[in-house]
Amino acid sequence: MKSKLPNVETSIFAVMSKMAADNNALNLSQGFPNFKSDPILIELVNKAMKDGFNQYAPMPGDLDLREVISSKTNLLHYQVYNPATEITVTAGATQAIFTAIAAIINKGDEAIIFTPAYDCYDPSIELFGGKTIPVQLKAPFYKVDWTEVEEKVTNKTKLIIINSPHNPSGTILSENDMLQLQNLVEKHNLLVISDEVYEHIIFDGQIHYSAARFPGLAERSFIIASFGKTFHNTGWKMGYCLAPESLMNEFKKVHQFNVFSVNTPVQKALAEYLKTSENYLNLPSYYQQKRDIFLDLIKESRFKIIPSKGTYFQMLDFSEISQESDIAFAERLTKVNKIAMIPTSVFNTHKEDFKQIRVCFAKTEATLQEAAVILNAI
């Protein structure tokens, strides 16, 4: 059988996590917390199960949850999404991204992405006959050159995918970035997928500029979010998508046939949990404390560091330590130094190697201290 994705290999996240396990290494590669979810949220899930909410949810999601998502979006970004027609609860953000791409990309369409990029974008575009047009962001600041972006637009361009806060670089898009994006997509009549899964993990008093805040973007964007990232329970695979009704109608046509609906008791629990806004408003300071503890612990290391502005990832520049490729360096650290991190060249357009590795600091303080001892000795 001819493969539909002949060039797709095993995800680097799976590769590094297996290498970490095989070598008994501390795993700071794959992006998941190693601390527990809020006991209140766990109890709400248990209560929902005991109360009998164990059958199929409505296809677009539990209405109570959609209403709370709408209220949260209005509170944070001053944009109202109709819970009945413009919000769908999904089996995680990756499913939402895949579904949005499936709904709009046809054979021959071009989609612009910014690399380094989360690894699900390109295969999903390819699967539906589209062509990925990468724009390479440059280390160490990973700023978007919007003139370069516009030069990539052709009469086949259908979509731009953005990701802010950005994985893996930990950078964020500014208000000016979003305004330039808005001008570009209006001028060329483009659609947007805005991957905002780290929306609540942003530091130093900065603002997350969601596509929802900009009318010209909101009317042509699928906005993707993740409860797994937000509430430290990635294994629940729970997210959502916001979009205007015309786009959401197309999204739901695909959604109903690849998952139909998602975990009912978790939806019921999240609907109740989100009614207390402090449960998400306090997250920036919670994760900033972890970032600051980690950076303070490794301040005497030989790595060059620009503090992450968002996400729970930190880039470490090892150019003053080794001239190995980042893949070779990450492999050596895993096997010899017993600490696993992600080489970032695998996410770049032509595997450009900026001598940077990505570390996940969504860990307990004890884990961060253990990691710092290793990193300071390298």
Q: Per-residue confidence at 378, pLDDT binned at 50, 70, 90? A: very high
Q: pLDDT at position 144, please?
A: 98
Taking only the tens place, the pLDDT of each residue in 82-137 is 999 999 999 999 999 999 999 999 999 999 999 999 999 999 999 999 999 999 99
Q: What count of Cα atoms within 13 Å lies in the side-chain half-sphere of residue 171?
A: 19
Q: Per-residue confidence at 10, pLDDT binned at 50, 70, 90? A: confident
Q: 51, exposed or middle or buried, with CB in 10 Å at 0-12, 13-18, 19+? A: exposed
Region 302-306: mean pLDDT is: 98
Query: What are the angstrom distances between the C-alpha of 60 and each of 91, 151, 259, 263, 325?
Result: 11, 38, 10, 12, 45
Evaluate whether 222 touches 111 at the Cβ level (below 8 Å).
no
Where is average pLDDT lowest: 27-36, 52-61, 261-270, 327-336? 27-36
Region 156-161: mean pLDDT is: 98
| C-alpha dihedral, 197 to 200 to 201 to 205, nearest 10° | 140
DSSP 213-262: GSHHHHTTEEEEEEHHHHTT-GGG--EEEE--HHHHHHHHHHHHHHTSS-
State the amino acid at position 106 in one-letter form: N
What are the tokens at 190? 């483009």
DSSP state of 344: G
Peptide bond into 165 cis (omega under 30): yes
Given a cut of 90, whether residue 7 has pLDDT beyond it is no
DSSP state of 304: B
Alpha helical stretches, state H, the chain: 12-22, 39-50, 63-77, 93-104, 121-127, 146-152, 175-188, 215-218, 227-230, 245-258, 264-273, 278-281, 283-297, 326-332, 365-376
Taking only the tens place, the pLDDT of each residue in 25-36 is 999 998 889 999
**Mean of all residue pLDDT scores within the chain:** 97
**Which element (helix H / strand E) includes 132?**
strand 131-136
φ/ψ of 86, rounded to 5, equals: -130, 10
Evaluate whether 358 touches 342 at the Cβ level (below 8 Å).
yes
Q: 0.95 cut: is pTM over it?
A: yes
d(CA 227, CA 296) in angstroms, rounded, equals 29
CATH 3.40.640.10 fits 40-276, yes or no: yes
- Coil vs helix vs strand at 124: helix
Evaluate whether 315 touches 343 at the Cβ level (below 8 Å).
no
Given a cut of 90, whether residue 8 has pLDDT beyond it is no
Given a cut of 90, whether residue 250 has pLDDT beyond it is yes
Query: What are the angstrom distances between the C-alpha of 255 and each of 61, 245, 294?
Result: 11, 14, 39
Q: pLDDT at position 38, please?
A: 96
Domain 12-30+282-376: top CATH class: alpha beta
What are the tokens at 36? 């527990």
Question: Which among 357, 367, 361, 32 is positioned nearest to 168, based on CA atoms?
Answer: 357
| C-alpha dihedral, 84 to 89 to 93 to 95, nearest 10° | -100
Region 132-152: mean pLDDT is: 97
Q: 49, exposed or middle or buried, with CB in 10 Å at 0-12, 13-18, 19+? A: middle
What are the tokens at 15? 């590769």
Domain ranges for the chain, please list them: 12-30+282-376, 40-276
